C-alpha cells in the first residue's frame, strides 16, 4: 500500500481481504490502527484475546469491549452488535428469472420517487455464459431455460433492455472490460443528483 508520511490512524476495512504483510506495513507506519471485519480471521482473534472478552469456555463474549491488559497479542477487540440508529431498513426479496419484468417495474417506481438503483450481475456478456457451460460439460446451444439465464445475468444485454424501457440517458453500465477512466466517468455521473443517470448496471469487478 501507499503510505502517507506522519499517518496517525489507519483503518483497514474487510481486513480478511488483506495479506499479513499489508496489514503489518500499515500498523508500522501509523500511530494507531483499527481493523474491521464481519468475519475476523483466527489470527486477529488470537492477537486480540484478553480477560474481558473471553468466556469461561475460552470463546469471545458477544458484545464485550476489552478494558483489561491483553494476555496474548497486542490488540483490543470490540464487537458492534447493533446498527446505527440512522441505518435504513433493508428488504430482501428473491424473484425467479422469469419474473424479471416485475423487477424492472420496481426499478421504474423507485427512480420515479427520486431514487437510484444498482443492478449487479455476475457476467459481462453472453459469451461468458456459453464458455462456463462448455467448461462444465454442458451444451452452449441450450434450451429456453439456459437462454433465459444468459439473458438475465449478463451486463450488456440487461443494460440494453433497461435502456429500451427507461431511456438511454437514464441507464449506465460498468464492467471489467472498461478502462478505469470510463468507469470513473460513469460513477461520477451516477453520483450527481442532477445528471439524470438513475440506474447503474454493474458486473462483479
pLDDT tens sequence across 24-43: 777 788 888 888 887 777 77
**In this predicted structure, what is the pLDDT of residue 53?**
45
Average the pLDDT over 62-69 and give the result: 44
- Evaluate the CA torsion angle 168, 169, 173, 177 in order and state its sign: positive
- Residue of 166 and 70 predicted with greater confidence: 166
- 83-113: pLDDT as tens digits: 888 888 888 888 888 888 899 999 999 999 9
**Residue 59 DSSP code:** S
**In this predicted structure, what is the pLDDT of residue 57?**
42
Question: Which class for 144: exposed (0-12), middle (13-18), buried (19 or more C-beta within 10 A)?
Answer: exposed
- 138-193: pLDDT as tens digits: 544 445 545 545 556 789 999 999 999 999 999 999 998 999 999 999 999 999 98
Give the H/E segment covering residue 119: strand 117-121
Task: Please list the residues that pair with 12 across neighbouring strands.
Answer: 35
- 47-59: pLDDT as tens digits: 665 434 444 344 4
Give the H/E segment covering residue 11: strand 9-12
**In this predicted structure, what is the pLDDT of residue 85?**
84
Position 63 pLDDT exceeds 80: no
**In this predicted structure, what is the pLDDT of residue 80?**
80
The answer to whether 174 touches 200, Cβ cutoff 8 Å, is: yes
Amino acid at each position: 500500500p501507499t503510505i502517507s508520511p506522519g499517518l496517525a490512524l489507519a483503518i483497514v476495512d474487510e481486513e480478511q481481504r488483506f495479506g499479513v504483510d499489508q496489514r503489518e506495513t500499515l500498523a508500522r507506519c501509523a500511530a494507531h490502527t483499527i481493523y474491521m471485519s464481519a468475519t475476523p480471521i483466527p489470527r486477529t482473534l488470537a492477537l486480540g484475546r484478553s480477560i474481558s472478552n473471553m468466556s469461561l469456555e475460552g470463546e469471545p463474549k458477544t458484545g464485550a469491549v476489552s478494558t483489561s491488559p491483553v494476555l496474548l497479542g497486542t490488540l483490543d477487540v470490540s464487537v458492534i452488535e447493533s446498527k446505527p440508529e440512522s441505518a435504513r431498513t433493508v428488504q430482501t426479496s428473491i424473484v425467479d428469472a422469469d419474473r424479471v419484468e416485475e423487477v424492472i417495474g420496481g426499478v421504474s417506481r423507485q427512480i420515479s420517487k427520486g431514487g437510484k438503483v444498482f443492478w449487479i450481475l455476475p457476467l459481462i456478456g453472453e459469451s461468458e455464459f456459453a464458455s462456463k457451460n462448455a467448461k462444465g460439460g454442458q451444451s452452449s446451444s441450450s434450451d429456453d431455460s439456459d437462454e433465459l439465464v444468459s439473458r438475465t445475468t449478463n451486463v450488456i444485454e440487461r443494460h440494453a433492455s433497461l435502456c429500451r424501457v427507461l431511456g438511454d440517458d437514464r441507464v449506465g453500465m460498468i464492467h471489467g472490460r472498461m478502462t478505469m477512466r470510463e468507469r470513473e466517468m460513469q460513477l461520477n455521473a451516477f453520483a450527481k443528483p442532477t445528471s439524470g443517470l438513475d440506474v447503474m448496471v454493474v458486473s462483479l469487478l
